[in-house]
Amino acid sequence: MKYLYLIISALIFMSCGSEPTNIKVNDIIISDTLKNVGAHAAGVAVTLRYPEIESGNTQLDEILRSAVKDFIEAPMYENDVYSKPQDMIDTVFEAYRSLVEEFPDYRMGWSFKRDAKVVYKSKNVITFDFTEEQFTGGAHPIIKKVFLSFDTKRASEISLDDIVDTSSVFFMELAEAKFREFQGIAPDADLLAEDFFVYEAGRFSLSESFGIIGEDLIFYYNPYDISPYYKGSAKFMINKKDLGKNLKKPELLN
């Protein structure tokens, strides 16, 4: 196996918030390939990208690093436990070897990517985009994206209820209106007829994947979350100014 470790140091300052944060982000890229398995197999390519973070706040560093580690080293198979990213890669390789040994004529190649990146940071908030893409056979790749935001002052993950009252009729109607706007669906159109299954118990269903980017909340639905695969992913955003008095912590959306 050949592997390549690249360390890209980048001090990221984005134009968000009234003053920049001093959080340093060093991107780590691990790329590894498995070839020459069996007579016909195409092999496996795995890429992991994740940030090493240093904020000067020990508690904040621990919670951010833990979130990144949980994503990058998430088990491939039940009961797997990894001590480092390479352990996950080796598990993928071993699964491929086992498949080729069982089916010597297997030809299809596998690919696997996990990408954890900081997409927004201010003096109060840091937001991650965790994206996983894998192809291990089948009709199409499996892609999943999750946004997570953290309060840099309190060193804690931000829940949607920290920001707004999700039981509010106003907020849920606003969310559905924004969803329709971003998807190009008329306010009075039947979402079921558009192949969107976004109602649960008669109520518009919010995605669990949400984050803070500047003055906006972003909600992201992965393929299959609320629609068939052919529809792809879906997202919508709500700006701070639209939330009005429903916004609990204005300082988080700067």
Whether the predicted pLDDT of 178 surpasses 50: yes
Between CA 129 and CA 69 the distance in angstroms is: 13
Cα separation, 136 vs 147, whole angstroms:
24
pLDDT band at 203 (very low <50, low <70, confident <90, very high): confident
Task: Provide the pLDDT for residue 196.
Answer: 93
pLDDT recorded at residue 21: 60
pLDDT at 12 over 60: no
Other Cβ atoms less than 10 A from the Cβ of 203: the count is 11
Tokens encoding 148:
């997570």
Is a pLDDT exceeding 90 seen at residue 186? Answer: yes
pLDDT score of 15: 36
Domains in the chain (CATH in brackets) are: 2-153 (3.30.565.40), 160-252 (3.90.640.20)
Q: What's the distance, CA 139 to chain centroid? A: 22
Query: Which range in 8-17, 19-28, 205-214 is most confidently predicted, on average pLDDT?
Result: 205-214
pLDDT band at 145 (very low <50, low <70, confident <90, very high): very high
Residue 14 confidence (pLDDT): 37
